[in-house]
Structure 1
Amino acid sequence: MKEKKETVILDDYTNWVHRFGRIGALIAILYMMFIPIAIAVAYDSFPPLSAILKGGIGVMALFIPIGISEVISYTPILGSASYLTFLTGNILNLKLPCVLNALKLAKADQNTPEGDAIATVAVAASSILTMLIIAIGVLLLVPLQPLFQTEFVKSATSYMLPALFGGMFLGILGPEQGSFRIKNKLLIMIVPVIIVSITVITGILISGLEGVAILLMLPIAIGIARVLWKKGIVHVVANEVKDN
């Protein structure tokens, strides 16, 4: 009886999240489309269709593959938090590290009700904090401008992204939290890394085609993972539960 009640509550929560997530995504899309249309109407400055296509095709060629690859690769980790995550952006550099760290601290598994709830809270907290920091930054932009122009600040900011991605990679190398972990999972990335490295060195993969590279590497990584799983090289094992 208790399990049935918990299942009903979980189904109600899932339906609620998907319903409001879809409504929120639709409102956000309409809102983002309304702003440029409203400005164009107010100032009678509609650009010609040829100019829209000329400028938009290049942007779509870059961001459509990236958007598709992000949905495929991030949704299994984010769960229902994907709605809020894709609306607020900054997935790889902010939202995803926050979710992974929150799941690690809570010792929760991905694709579970607990992990889903924790991911949603982590993304919401990250979004609120980001907006507060941006607001403070806008207010202090002019007073702190001389500080931002100094050499040591410029040098420090050039290392921000490498430090962020380095920290994320170290997190992948570290022990996994939760009830289960994937053994030998890093073997899956060897072939995609070699292929991408060769294409970058030879100049085949140029700037702007990162999204295409991600889309091409996803099925390769999935295929390698399946082969290694079939051979028993990569498999899921239970984590040992340590009593405090």
Structure 2
Amino acid sequence: MNNEKYIKSIHRLGRLGSIGALGFMVGIPLVICAIYSCFPDFGLVLQSGTGLLAMFIPIAISEVFSYAPVLGSASYITFITGNVMNLKLPVAINAIDIAGVEQSTDEGDAVVTVAVGASSIVTMAIIALGVILLVPLQPIFAIPAVKTATGYMLPALFGGLALGIFNGRSGKYNIKGKLLGAVPAVIIVIILMIMGVPLSTYQGFVIVGMIPVTILTSWLMYKKGIIKVYEQGKTEPEPVASKK
């Protein structure tokens, strides 16, 4: 009962927060345009935004389907604050790994929610300090060594995320051959590239299409014994699927 009450409260707060965030994003430009009487032509806005919407709406849908199983209840605050791939997702995966819990469980959901919430608070604090100290620190940012170091920040974050994917661990289980499930999707994408399909334009649709392909192939490989799930801490572990 308490768990159900918690879930309902999380969804309620998440929806209210999302509506509030959308209100600020849309409301502030509308208020400024109303004050200065500078509303743009709606037809021109629609014409300019159609191409962007066609590209980013599928990407947004694919992100919800692919990230929500990992983020759980933290999906709301993650999508409101942004920086999903380069910050929130690595934080969530590392928190799950350090805590030794599983994804899509109550324990994993609690750990990820706390981790993402703390990450969002730290991010906002750093941004506030950056705004305040931007001018005093400008000479330091201009140093060539600092410029070189900042160029490796994103690759380092993605490298840490990749290590979490390649290590084959998921909470208290080891997954042997889990990357094999993505091979058919990679082959399909390569074929599309060879055929000259502009993936940069249709990347959102491609991601949405490859999610069920990866899930299906991973499930089939698991059933065939190609992908195996073992409990950690055993020299000769028994496959989890074989236990009754």
TM interval, short-chain normalised: 0.7 to 0.9
CA shift digits 1:69-93 (9 cap, x unpaired): 1100010111111111111111111
Q: Which of 29, 38, 55 does residue 36 from structure 1 map onto?
A: 29
Matched letter for residue 228 of structure 1: M
Q: Which of 160, 168, 171 does residue 153 from structure 2 map onto?
A: 160
Whole-angstrom CA distance in 2 between matches of 1:45 and 1:164: 41
1:19 aligns with 2:12: yes
Whole-angstrom CA distance in 1 between matches of 2:174 and 2:90: 18
Specify whether residues 171 and 156 from structure 1 end up closer, same or farther in structure 2 by C-alpha distance, changes over 3 A only: same
Aligned partner of 1:138 in structure 2 is 131
CA shift digits 1:87-116 (9 cap, x unpaired): 111111111111111111111111111111
Specify whether residues 235 and 94 from structure 1 end up closer, same or farther in structure 2 by C-alpha distance, changes over 3 A only: same
Specify whether residues 196 and 166 from structure 1 end up closer, same or farther in structure 2 by C-alpha distance, changes over 3 A only: farther
Q: How far off its partner does 1:19 sit? A: 1.5
Q: Which of 55, 63, 68 does residue 70 from structure 1 map onto?
A: 63
Query: 161-170 vs 67-76, which deviates more?
Result: 161-170
1:60 aligns with 2:77: no
Aligned partner of 2:240 in structure 1 is none
Give the secondary-structure state (helix, strand or coil) at the position aligned to 2:175.
Answer: strand
Query: 12-21 vs 193-202, which deviates more?
Result: 193-202
Percent identity between the two aligned chains: 50
Aligned partner of 2:38 in structure 1 is 45
Matched letter for residue 212 of structure 1: F
Q: Which of 86, 92, 95 does residue 93 from structure 1 map onto?
A: 86
Matched letter for residue 29 of structure 1: L
Q: How far off its partner does 1:240 sit? A: 2.8
Specify whether residues 150 and 208 from structure 1 end up closer, same or farther in structure 2 by C-alpha distance, changes over 3 A only: farther
Aligned partner of 2:108 in structure 1 is 115
TM-score relative to the length of structure 2: 0.87
Aligned partner of 1:5 in structure 2 is none
Q: How far off its partner does 1:58 sit? A: 2.2
Aligned partner of 1:149 in structure 2 is 142
Query: 56-65 vs 67-76, which deviates more?
Result: 56-65
Specify whether residues 205 and 157 from structure 1 end up closer, same or farther in structure 2 by C-alpha distance, changes over 3 A only: farther
Structure 2 residue runs of 5 or longer lacking an equivalent are 236-244
Q: How far off its partner does 1:50 sit? A: 1.7
> Number of residues paired by the alignment?
235
Matched letter for residue 138 of structure 1: V
